[in-house]
């Protein structure tokens, strides 16, 4: 019976790694390795799971899994994520990191494992494994929303504020690579695209595309995986500007007392935000 494939050693081992990493190792040892481990384990069992159910669609399932994974890991999935988070009780979140695409290397191994004839199996109810796998696909990572209300005012125009936010260090956005292409001109005052240096044809960086009136900044920090999101509302005029903080979001258990890094989510994140964002802007 094809359901027996769910109890193979390879499938169960990958499922255990996925669950153990997302519910324990990430929160205890949040680093590059634990961040990538879930991608590899998840991408191993995801197409394998559907192939066991629909073996005649195997090639299409693995091809679709690769395309969906690439789409999910790029900025192009952001509009879909925003729609789902707006109308669903499930809060989706992910950090755009193209190095996650390395996990695609596991797909050939998953594909060949399904074809393997001499698999070893564990005596366990396949229905239980199916339910556990579906749970892992939906809720393998924590999401914590931290309410924090505060406002910061600045004595410069809103355009200046947006420009400063765009060039912030320790902040992740989809234009990181693009920002590296801009250099100061001979006066040291104006940013010019280096590819237009010979003609001195200034090309304005896409600041408005990134720094919108409502924006979520991902701030790199040395706890809770790679960092956290700060939800902001930016306003102002030609003389003054303001940042209103709506809250923070991270992917660790809220107020996790067993971790030495965590005592009070709100206090730690607010101090980090003021140090890594507000102090740079002033």
**How far, in Å, CA of 263 to CA of 265, rounded?**
7
The region that residue 255 occupies, defined by phi over 0 for left and psi between -120 and 50 for alpha, beta otherwise, is left
Residue range 46-94, pLDDT digits in tens: 999 999 999 999 999 999 999 999 988 887 877 777 777 666 655 566 6
- Domain edges within the chain: 2-139, 144-281
Q: Check residue 50 and give its pLDDT.
A: 93
- Residue count of the chain: 282
The CATH architecture one would assign to domain 144-281 is 2-Layer Sandwich (3.30)
Task: Please state whether the predicted TM-score (pTM) of the whole model is above 0.85.
Answer: no
Mean pLDDT, rounded, for 193-222: 63
Sole residue written with tokens 């005012």: 153
Q: Spell out the residues 6+ positions from residue 30 whose beta carbon is closer than 8 angstroms to its own.
A: 223, 224, 225, 226, 252
């Amino acid at each position: 019976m094809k359901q027996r494939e769910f109890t193979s050693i390879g499938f169960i081992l990958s499922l255990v790694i996925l669950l153990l990493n997302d519910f324990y190792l990430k929160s205890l040892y949040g680093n590059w390795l634990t961040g990538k481990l879930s991608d590899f384990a998840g991408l191993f069992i995801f197409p394998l799971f559907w192939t066991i159910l629909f073996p005649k669609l195997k090639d299409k399932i693995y091809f679709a899994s690769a395309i969906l994974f690439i789409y999910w890991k790029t900025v192009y999935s952001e509009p879909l994520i925003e729609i789902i988070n707006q109308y669903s009780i499930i809060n989706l979140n992910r950090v755009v990191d193209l190095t996650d695409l390395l996990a695609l290397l596991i797909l050939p191994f998953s594909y060949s494992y399904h074809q393997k004839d001499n698999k070893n199996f564990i005596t366990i109810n396949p229905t239980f494994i199916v339910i556990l796998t579906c749970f892992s696909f939906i809720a393998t990572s924590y999401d914590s929303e931290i309410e924090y209300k505060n406002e910061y005012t600045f004595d410069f125009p809103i355009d200046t504020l947006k420009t400063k936010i765009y060039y912030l260090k320790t902040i992740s956005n989809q234009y990181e690579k693009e920002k590296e292409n801009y250099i100061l001109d001979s006066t040291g005052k104006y940013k010019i695209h280096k590819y237009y240096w010979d003609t001195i044809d200034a090309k304005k960086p896409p600041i408005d595309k990134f720094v919108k009136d409502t924006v979520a900044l991902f701030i790199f920090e040395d706890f809770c995986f790679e960092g956290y999101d700060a939800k902001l509302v930016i306003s102002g005029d030609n003389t003054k500007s303001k940042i209103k903080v709506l809250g923070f979001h991270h992917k660790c258990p809220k107020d996790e007392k067993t971790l030495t890094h965590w005592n009070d989510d709100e206090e730690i994140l607010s101090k980090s935000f003021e140090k890594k964002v507000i102090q740079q802007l002033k």
